[in-house]
Amino acid sequence: MSQRSEVYRTSLLGLLSPAIVLSVWESAGALGWINPILLPRPSQIVWSLVELVADGAVFPPLLYTIALFVVGYAIASILGIAIGVAMATSETLYGLLEPLVEILRPIPKSALVPVLFLFLGIGKTTMITVVVLAAVFPVLISTFQGVRGLDPVLLETARTFQVSRMRTIFSIILPASLPMILAGMRVALGLGLVLVILAEMLAGEDGIGFRILDLQRAFQIREMFAWIFVLVALGGGLMMLFDLIERTLVPWRGKT
């Protein structure tokens, strides 16, 4: 991670390559080397973006997507951690749930979108469920591995001191396996974003994925690229937020 911050420290140099790419793109467009209808110039896209932000049109779909994602991701994280801990600490629950998890986990979740329409109809419930299904398994697996990988002495000690089961989980197991849980949540973050955009494209009423496909069908390419820029900002923002939270919760991570 230190190498990454090294690039950001020399932030002027870091801006150099994106600047070069943008100016090549811009001048290629201005010189007519690329079809301006299919690939608008960055300045035109930024102008569309400014219009989107200025008249506030950017906010409802953006908030819609964020809301869907956050709700789905939160449910997936809580479920994943809870089931992961349960399966790792109870042999009975492990036996009960392991076959089901092993059957559901390998299904590419995108294939479940049409199936979920049938159950839940078109709408928010379906989209949130898709996000949950995509994000829950990485969290579950890494939580499970994290808890199973804990030092047995730690748990023995807790038992010796007759710490209650709930307290053992909340005060010992969860903090100790936090790095692994967060590693799973990081994978889940990316997967959840992929699926929320896909769900909006296939079953959307609103949201960024819906806008992008809608604009492509109306052949409004410039506006479509503006929305992709919005999505880049959203994805980047969420990842930075995640880094920040991880660094706060697990300050020792990455220093080994």
Partner 1 sequence: MRKAFMIGLAVLGFFVLSPQRATAADLEKLRVSIIPINDVAPLFVAIQNGYFRDLGLEIDTTPSAGGAAGIPGLIGGSFDIVYGNVVSVLLASQQGLDVKVIAPGTKVSARDTDTTPILVRSDSGIKNGKDLEGKSISVNTRNNVIWLYARAWIKATGGDPDKVTFKEIPFPQVEDALRQGRVDASFLVAPFSIVSRQKPGLTAIANPYSDIQLGVDVGQYITTGKLLSAKPETIKKFVAGLRKGVEWFNANPSSDALLTMISGYTKTDASILKSIALPAMPLHTDLPQVKKTMELMIENKLLPGPLDLSKIIDPIAL
Partner 2 sequence: MSVVGTLEGASSKPSAAGSIRRRLGPRLYGVLLIAAILLFWEVSSRLGWIVSAYWPPVTKILWAAISQLGGGDILVSLAATLRRALTGYAIGSVLGIALGILLGKSKVLRIALLPLIEIVRPIPTPAVIPPLILFLGVDDALKIFAISLATFFPVFTNTFAGVATVDDTLIQTARTFRTSWARTLLRVVLPATLPAIAAGLRTATSLALVVAVVSEMVAGSSGIGYYLVEMQYALRPDLMYAAVMYLAITGYAVNRLFLVLEARLIPWMGKT
Residues that bind partner 1 (CB under 8 A): 17, 20-21, 25, 37-38, 117-118, 121-123, 202-205, 213-214, 216-221
Residue with smaller CB distance to partner 2, 167 or 240: 240
Residues 155-194 that bind partner 2 (CB under 8 A): 180, 183-184, 186-187, 190-191, 193-194
Q: Is 14 in the site for partner 2 (CB under 8 A)?
A: yes
Q: Give the one entry of partner 1, partner 2, none that residue 220 binds, where binding means its C-beta sits below a cut-off of 5 to 8 angstroms depending on kind.
A: partner 1
Q: Give the one entry of partner 2, partner 1, none that residue 218 binds, where binding means its C-beta sits below a cut-off of 5 to 8 angstroms depending on kind.
A: partner 1
Residue 91: is it exposed, middle or buried by C-beta count within 10 angstroms (0-12/13-18/19+)? exposed
Minimum Å distance from CB 122 to partner 1? 5
Distance of CA 23 to the CA centre of its chain: 30
Residue with smaller CB distance to partner 1, 205 or 243: 205
SS3 per-residue string spanning the chain? CHHHHHHHHCHHHHHHHHHHHHHHHHHHHHCCCCCCCCCCCHHHHHHHHHHHHHCCCCHHHHHHHHHHHHHHHHHHHHHHHHHHHHHHHCHHHHHHHHHHHHHHCCCCHHHHHHHHHHHHCCCHHHHHHHHHHHHHHHHHHHHHHHHHCCCHHHHHHHHHCCCCHHHHHHHHHHHHHHHHHHHHHHHHHHHHHHHHHHHHHHHCCCCHHHHHHHHHHCCCHHHHHHHHHHHHHHHHHHHHHHHHHHHHHCCCCCCC
Question: What tokens were used for 66?
Answer: 């964020």
Residue with smaller CB distance to partner 2, 29 or 138: 138
Determine which residue in the list 72, 80, 138, 207 makes contact with partner 2, applying CB under 8 A: 138
Residues 76 and 132: beta-carbon distance below 8 Å: yes
Residue with smaller CB distance to partner 1, 109 or 211: 211
Q: Is 99 in the site for partner 2 (CB under 8 A)?
A: yes
Minimum Å distance from CB 141 to partner 2? 6
Residues 196-215 that bind partner 2 (CB under 8 A): 196-198, 201-202, 208-209, 212-213
Q: Give the one entry of partner 2, partner 1, none that residue 122 binds, where binding means its C-beta sits below a cut-off of 5 to 8 angstroms depending on kind.
A: partner 1
Residue with smaller CB distance to partner 1, 121 or 149: 121
Determine which residue in the list 36, 60, 95, 123 makes contact with partner 2, applying CB under 8 A: 95
Tell me the window of 53-61, 157-165, 166-174, 222-230 that interacts with partner 2 (CB under 8 A).
Answer: 222-230
